[in-house]
Amino acid sequence: MGNSNRKHSSTHGCVSTGNNAVLQFDLRTYATKGEVLAAVDRMAYVGQNATNTTGALRLARLQVFERASRVANRVAVLITDGAPTADTDQLEVEVARVKALGVDVVALGVTSAVIS
In CATH, the architecture of 14-109 is 3-Layer(aba) Sandwich (3.40)
For the chain, the average pLDDT equals 80
Report the C-alpha gap between 31 and 3 in whole angstroms. Answer: 11
Judged by phi (left if over 0) then psi (alpha if -120 to 50, else beta), residue 42 lies in: alpha
Q: Which helix (H) or strand (E) holds 48?
A: none
Give dist(CA 71, CA 103) in Å, integer.
12
Phi, psi of 93 (to 5 degrees): -65, -45
pLDDT at 15: 85
Q: Spell out the domain ranges in the chain.
A: 14-109
Name the pTM for this structure: 0.77
pLDDT in tens, 27-68: 778 878 888 888 888 887 766 788 889 999 999 999 888 877
pLDDT of res. 45: 75
